[in-house]
Chain A
Amino acid sequence: MTLLKLEGIRKSFGAIDVLHGVDLSVEAGEVVGLVGDNGAGKSTLMKTITGIYQADAGSITFDGRGILDLDPGERRRLGIEMIYQDLSLARQQDVSSNIFLGREPTRKLFGLFPFVDKAAMDRQAAQMIERLNAHLPSINRSVGSFSGGQQQTVAIARALTFNPKLVIMDEPTAALAVREVQSVLDLIRRLKSEGIAVILISHRLNDVLSVTDRIVVLRHGRAEADLVTGNTNMSEVVSRIVGGGDMAAAASHEARG
Chain B
Amino acid sequence: MSSDLATPGVWTRAQRASVERLHIRLESLLVLVALSALMAVLSPYFLSFSNLLNILLATSTIGILAIAATFVIGSGGLDLSLGSVMGLSGVVGAFVAVNLGAPSVLGVFACILAGGIAGYINGQLVTRAFVPAFIVTLGMLGLARGLALVISGGRVIYGLPEFMLYLGQGRPFGIPMPVIIFIATAFIAHCVLAYTRFGRHTLALGDSESAARAAGIRVERQRRILYTLSGALAGLAGLLFSARINSGDPTAGLNYELTAITAAIIGGTNLFGGRGSILGTMIGALIMGVLQNGLNLLAVQSYYQQMAIGAVLILAVFIDQYQVRKESRV
A and B: interacting chains: yes
State the A residues within 8 Å of B (CB).
73, 84, 86, 88-93, 97-98, 101-104, 106, 113-116, 118, 140-142, 144-145
- Given A84-B214, A102-B217: A116 and B197 interface contact (C-beta under 8 Å): yes
Indicate if B203 sits at the interface (CB-CB under 8 A): yes
CA distance A106 to B191 in the complex (A): 13
Contacting residue for B210 out of A86, A103, A114, A145, CB 8 A: A86
Pair B197/A114 contact, Cβ less than 8 Å: yes
Pair B217/A101 contact, Cβ less than 8 Å: yes
Closest chain A residue, CB of each to CB of B274: A92
Pair A88/B210 contact, Cβ less than 8 Å: yes
Chain B interface residue count: which class? 20 to 34
Q: What's the minimum C-beta distance from B22 to chain A, rounded to whole angstroms? A: 14
Binds A, one of B1-9, B153-161, B240-248: B1-9
A contact residues around B217 at 8 Å (CB): 101-102
Most buried by B among A73, A84, A90: A90
Contacting residue for B204 out of A84, A86, A101, A145, CB 8 A: A101
Pair A88/B211 contact, Cβ less than 8 Å: yes
Pair B195/A102 contact, Cβ less than 8 Å: no
Additional A-B contact list (15), CB under 8 Å, known A102-B215, A115-B196, A142-B3: A86-B210, A91-B208, A91-B274, A92-B275, A93-B200, A93-B203, A93-B207, A113-B191, A114-B197, A140-B17, A141-B4, A145-B3, A145-B4, A145-B5, A145-B327
- Given A116-B195, A141-B3, A145-B5: A90 and B214 interface contact (C-beta under 8 Å): no
Q: What's the minimum C-beta distance from A172 to chain B, rounded to whole angstroms? A: 16
Pair B200/A104 contact, Cβ less than 8 Å: yes
A contact residues around B224 at 8 Å (CB): none
Which 3 A-B residue pairings sit nearest by Cβ, starting from the closest? A102-B215, A90-B207, A88-B214
CA distance A140 to B3 in the complex (A): 10
B contact residues around A92 at 8 Å (CB): 203, 207, 270, 274-275
Indicate if B201 sits at the interface (CB-CB under 8 A): yes
CA distance A198 to B214 in the complex (A): 20
CA distance A103 to B270 in the complex (A): 24
B contact residues around A86 at 8 Å (CB): 210
A-B contact pairs, 25 of them (CB 8 A): A73-B216, A88-B211, A88-B215, A90-B207, A90-B211, A92-B203, A92-B270, A93-B203, A93-B204, A93-B207, A97-B204, A101-B201, A102-B215, A103-B215, A104-B197, A104-B200, A114-B196, A115-B196, A116-B195, A116-B196, A116-B200, A118-B195, A141-B4, A142-B3, A145-B3
Pair A142/B1 contact, Cβ less than 8 Å: yes
- Given A93-B207, A144-B3: A101 and B212 interface contact (C-beta under 8 Å): yes
Pair B208/A102 contact, Cβ less than 8 Å: no
- Given A91-B207, A114-B196, A116-B197: A102 and B3 interface contact (C-beta under 8 Å): no
A contact residues around B197 at 8 Å (CB): 104, 106, 114, 116
Closest chain A residue, CB of each to CB of B201: A102
List the count of A-B residue pairs having beta carbons below 8 Å apart: 72
Please provide the chain B residues from 133 to 184 with a CB less than 8 Å away from any CB of chain A in the complex: none
Please provide the chain B residues from 19 to 46 with a CB less than 8 Å away from any CB of chain A in the complex: none
Pair A90/B216 contact, Cβ less than 8 Å: no
CA distance A118 to B196 in the complex (A): 10
Closest chain A residue, CB of each to CB of B4: A141
A contact residues around B215 at 8 Å (CB): 88, 101-103
Pair B275/A90 contact, Cβ less than 8 Å: no
CA distance A102 to B1 in the complex (A): 21
Closest chain A residue, CB of each to CB of B204: A90
B contact residues around A101 at 8 Å (CB): 200-201, 204, 211-212, 215, 217
CA distance A93 to B191 in the complex (A): 17
CA distance A92 to B270 in the complex (A): 10
Q: What's the minimum C-beta distance from B88 to chain A, rounded to whole angstroms? A: 32
CA distance A118 to B191 in the complex (A): 13
Q: What's the minimum C-beta distance from A159 to chain B, rounded to whole angstroms? A: 11
Closest chain B residue, CB of each to CB of A118: B195
B contact residues around A97 at 8 Å (CB): 200, 204
CA distance A96 to B227 in the complex (A): 28
Most buried by A among B4, B204, B210, B212: B204
CA distance A172 to B202 in the complex (A): 28
Closest chain B residue, CB of each to CB of A141: B4
Closest chain A residue, CB of each to CB of B215: A102
CA distance A88 to B204 in the complex (A): 11
A contact residues around B17 at 8 Å (CB): 140
B contact residues around A73 at 8 Å (CB): 216
CA distance A101 to B208 in the complex (A): 11
